[in-house]
Structure 1
Amino acid sequence: MSEHAFQLMILINVLGVLGIVVWHLQGRSRPTQRLVAQIIFFIAMTISLIFANVMPFRFDAPHLEGSAALVVTAKILWWTHLSWATIGFVRIYIVLDGRPRQARLIQDLLVAVVYLGVVLSVMAFVFGVPIGTLLATSGIFAIILGLALQNTLGDLFSGIALTLGRPYTIGDWILLSDATEGRVIASNWRSTYLLTGAHNLVVLPNSVLAKQSITNVSKPDENHQIMLGVRVVPTRGPKFILNVMLDALNSCNGIVHDPAPSVSLVNIDAAAIDMELYFRVTSPAERSLARNEVIDLVYRHCLANGLVLAKPPGSQTTLQETSTPMPLPSVEALLETIPMFSELTAEERSRLAASATTHRLAAGEKILDEGEVSSRLLIISVGIILLHKNDEDVARLAPGDYLGEKGLFAGTPEIYEATTLTPAKLYELNKEAFEQLVAERPTLADDLVASLSNRGTQQESGAPPTIASGGSGIHLIQAIRSRFGARHI
């Protein structure tokens, strides 16, 4: 070997070792910089090999001593840097493609293929090992190993197929044909991990997962449709009943209103009208809360409109049950359902009910202005009331809900504007109706404060944001007693 070639071999080995040091110092957190440095070292080594007239993909009988050993180490370092540069390109592509986690299996497979190819190339072009014979001999061993690892290989290739097909990504909520459902939180060579709604971790082998039909609830978005079956006794016409069900859905705060919920009439006979209510929620995790609210509102709207829920199919029904509508709820019946008046006696509720006045409003009529100090309590008997602020819808009130309590009891202004979304019937209780009750029973102020505070902090699904105390309980008690002419504590 000439002195010039010898110097080039030393340079190549120095570049190879220096490239390895730089590669490790940059770390995994800087893949782009690592790839750029790797390419620079690889190009410099390639140019040096060309000038030294050494072809790394051509076999020359090696000598592992003296200056010839430098050629062997130079070729090995060149193939090593080639593999790292190729792997760097693969990882950069995956990052730029936006799939760093989802394509982990493909990335690992490509890395393994690159390393295997480099090892075989070094054996063939550096040490002259007959690769064809080696592969033929290892085929028998591969068959034995494949039979022993049949299940593991099934999971492996199923994982590759799922990754290539991309039926889901990390973070998606999926539903399987065996009714298993949950959010995908991790995936590896062998298994996929689901976190269920019950907060349990389900580990599914990829081969089992690949054999099932998969419904991706998160695509195109997580809006999830729910169907609820309802049976109503046909004491009124189907169109009237359908409109009542639509009102129940439209008064729900826990569902999506764009697209609008819908009702489908399925069947009718002498005993019942069968319907299916369709509505959407923003996430599968919201299904139970939304279903609970819809069921509650269906009951309240049926009660407000004199409708009766039908018995299950096959139950015996009388002619009177299918032909006589339920009486509409009175103001006294509504007072019994309101927690604020739970501490009142039946006689006190009757006195309040007797002083109530009835209002019938068309859709779109304003009830309360934002900033208004109300002097009346309005209880919804029929219809939907919309609360909005700065032209944005905040909440919807249904039969059995009430509004105006902030101004009536505490003298504080309303924070929302209230208008009717549908034709409505309201019962009004004014300040004079409560003055005598508070005067006769001063402790009623304490009960009102407790009810107002609970109503203000209630955060359950569908609970409209109404009153915020704005002060301590003792200040509320003083405000209520002052407003109703009672002494301060």
Structure 2
Amino acid sequence: MPPSLFGDDHTLPLVLINLLGITGIVVWHLQGRDRPTGRLIVQILFFIGMSLVLYMGGIAPHQADDVDAETLTGALSKSARILWWTHLAWTIIGLIHIYVRLNRKPREAHLILDMAVAGIYLGVALSVMGFVFGLPIATLVTTSGVVALILGLALQNTLGDVFSGIALTLGKAYAIGDWVQLSDGTAGRVTETNWRSTNLLTGLNNIVVLPNSMLAKQSLTSLSRPDESHLMTLGVRFAAGQKPRIVEDAMRIVLETSTRIVKDPAPAVALKSIDAAAIEVELQFRVASLAAGTSAKNEIIDLIHDQCSLSGLSLAGPA
């Protein structure tokens, strides 16, 4: 640290640091939550200003001072160091938030972001206790480890959900807004992920809350990747006395007439089987999203009815 530009008396730089720190907090709050970039600029500017005053005053924030805490200078020294460490934490957290927003995945990175913020605050808290108040950091870390072990044993299920959520987030098995289907048959759109659970909005407009540890143990099928389109099939049975080629052409007209299915890739008609009772046909088509499946299938069934009347085709009885 260079010699102080303010002389041996640190009162003036300490007062300046306190004023900058408090003013920075006030201006930061006045920016509002809807201006994250403005907040970050305020954090960086005030932090740089406080750091310059520390440097010019020959004050090291990472070294405990030997000034009597009961004097005015001692109180200013401790409050200045606390404010500097606090602004350091806020500046780092602000940069992390901006980085997440630039990647346009703030909701998916929610769990990781929360852990990073918690780690930063923990590191700053230990730094303040060690460098400002002169407490033994090694002892604090050891004590914290014992407390963490006790809490870990008491909260095994909750911690299992937390780490499962982190693993699912890092693995990018799904994203907010994806349609997913689990091996137990549960299906829905992912609406929220948090520390403990994932919420699915089902086709019945119900919210299913799944603990992350349970979700991590199941196989998961994403119905939204590589895109939202979804393959659907519809089986139809026709009386055996009709020509399969005529049946195929009639069903192809049905698919070409439909306005609620995706035409690229083209839908297909598959003749599945024939016996003395019926010709079994399967219509294969895609819809833009799973939510559009019901309306598309209803339209196809209505068109089949009309086409059978026009073509003179007869449906077979149930198998």
Using structure 1 for the length normalisation, give the TM-score: 0.60
Counterpart of 1:127? 133
Pair 1:34 & 2:39 matched: yes
Distance (whole Å) between structure 2 residues aligned to residue 140 and residue 106 of structure 1: 24
Aligned partner (choices 43, 46, 64) of residue 59 of structure 1: 64
Counterpart of 1:48? 53
Pair 1:190 & 2:216 matched: no
Aligned partner (choices 19, 29, 33) of residue 14 of structure 1: 19
- Structure 1 residue 42 displacement after superposition: 0.7
Q: Supply the AA of the counterpart residue of 1:6.
A: T
Pairing of 1:232-243 with structure 2 (within 5 A) = 232-243=238-249
Distance (whole Å) between structure 2 residues aligned to residue 14 and residue 34 of structure 1: 18
Distance (whole Å) between structure 2 residues aligned to residue 47 and residue 57 of structure 1: 15
Distance (whole Å) between structure 2 residues aligned to residue 294 and residue 25 of structure 1: 58
- SS of the equivalent of 2:189 reads strand
Counterpart of 2:157? 151
- Structure 1 residue 218 displacement after superposition: 2.6
Asked if structure 2 preserves the Cα contact closer than 8 Å seen for 1:224 and 1:284, the reply is yes
- Structure 1 residue 86 displacement after superposition: 0.5
How many pairs does the alignment contain? 313
Counterpart of 1:142? 148
Percent identity for Structure 1 against Structure 2: 56
Aligned partner (choices 234, 252, 259) of residue 253 of structure 1: 259
Asked if structure 2 preserves the Cα contact closer than 8 Å seen for 1:175 and 1:181, the reply is yes
Distance (whole Å) between structure 1 residues aligned to residue 270 and residue 133 of structure 2: 77
Q: CA RMSD in A?
A: 2.1
- Structure 1 residue 260 displacement after superposition: 1.7
Pairing of 1:451-470 with structure 2 (within 5 A) = none
Which runs of 5 or more residues in structure 2 are unaligned?
Answer: none
- Structure 1 residue 303 displacement after superposition: 4.0
Pairing of 1:358-397 with structure 2 (within 5 A) = none
Q: Supply the AA of the counterpart residue of 1:310.
A: A
Distance (whole Å) between structure 1 residues aligned to residue 20 and residue 305 of structure 2: 80
Distance (whole Å) between structure 1 residues aligned to residue 131 and residue 67 of structure 2: 10
Counterpart of 2:299? 293
- SS of the equivalent of 1:135 reads helix
Counterpart of 1:169? 175
Pair 1:273 & 2:279 matched: yes
Distance (whole Å) between structure 2 residues aligned to residue 11 and residue 195 of structure 1: 54
- Structure 1 residue 262 displacement after superposition: 0.6
- SS of the equivalent of 2:250 reads helix
- Structure 1 residue 172 displacement after superposition: 2.4
- Structure 1 residue 61 displacement after superposition: 4.1
Which runs of 5 or more residues in structure 1 are unaligned?
Answer: 314-489
Distance (whole Å) between structure 2 residues aligned to residue 39 and residue 163 of structure 1: 30
Distance (whole Å) between structure 2 residues aligned to residue 239 and residue 62 of structure 1: 98
Asked if structure 2 preserves the Cα contact closer than 8 Å seen for 1:61 and 1:128, the reply is no
- SS of the equivalent of 1:101 reads coil
Q: Larger Rg: 1 or 2? A: 1
Distance (whole Å) between structure 2 residues aligned to residue 45 and residue 51 of structure 1: 10
Asked if structure 2 preserves the Cα contact closer than 8 Å seen for 1:62 and 1:126, the reply is no
The change in CA–CA distance for 1:212 and 1:51 in structure 2 (over 3 A counts) is same
- Structure 1 residue 79 displacement after superposition: 0.5
- SS of the equivalent of 2:262 reads coil
Q: Supply the AA of the counterpart residue of 2:58.
A: N
- Structure 1 residue 105 displacement after superposition: 2.0
- Structure 1 residue 148 displacement after superposition: 1.5
Distance (whole Å) between structure 2 residues aligned to residue 78 and residue 159 of structure 1: 34
Distance (whole Å) between structure 2 residues aligned to residue 285 and residue 127 of structure 1: 60
- SS of the equivalent of 2:10 reads helix
Distance (whole Å) between structure 2 residues aligned to residue 63 and residue 130 of structure 1: 19
Asked if structure 2 preserves the Cα contact closer than 8 Å seen for 1:62 and 1:72, the reply is no
Pair 1:225 & 2:254 matched: no
Asked if structure 2 preserves the Cα contact closer than 8 Å seen for 1:62 and 1:127, the reply is no
Bigger share in helix: 2
Distance (whole Å) between structure 1 residues aligned to residue 58 and residue 169 of structure 2: 44
- Structure 1 residue 188 displacement after superposition: 1.9
Aligned partner (choices 112, 128, 137) of residue 118 of structure 2: 112
Distance (whole Å) between structure 2 residues aligned to residue 241 and residue 273 of structure 1: 9
Post-superposition Cα deviations, 1:434-457, rounded to whole Å, max 9, x if no partner, equal xxxxxxxxxxxxxxxxxxxxxxxx
Distance (whole Å) between structure 1 residues aligned to residue 68 and residue 96 of structure 2: 35
Counterpart of 1:24? 29
Post-superposition Cα deviations, 1:409-439, rounded to whole Å, max 9, x if no partner, equal xxxxxxxxxxxxxxxxxxxxxxxxxxxxxxx
Q: Supply the AA of the counterpart residue of 1:134.
A: L
Post-superposition Cα deviations, 1:48-92, rounded to whole Å, max 9, x if no partner, equal 111222221233445312223322222111100000000110111
Distance (whole Å) between structure 1 residues aligned to residue 56 and residue 90 of structure 2: 23
- Structure 1 residue 137 displacement after superposition: 2.6
- SS of the equivalent of 1:310 reads coil
Post-superposition Cα deviations, 1:220-265, rounded to whole Å, max 9, x if no partner, equal 3322210112233332343332222211222222222222211223
Distance (whole Å) between structure 2 residues aligned to residue 228 and residue 75 of structure 1: 71
Aligned partner (choices 189, 204, 209) of residue 203 of structure 1: 209
Using structure 2 for the length normalisation, give the TM-score: 0.90
- SS of the equivalent of 1:159 reads helix
Asked if structure 2 preserves the Cα contact closer than 8 Å seen for 1:255 and 1:279, the reply is yes
Structure 1 runs of 4+ with >4 Å offset: 1-4
Counterpart of 1:89? 95
Aligned partner (choices 82, 90, 98) of residue 76 of structure 1: 82
Asked if structure 2 preserves the Cα contact closer than 8 Å seen for 1:159 and 1:188, the reply is yes
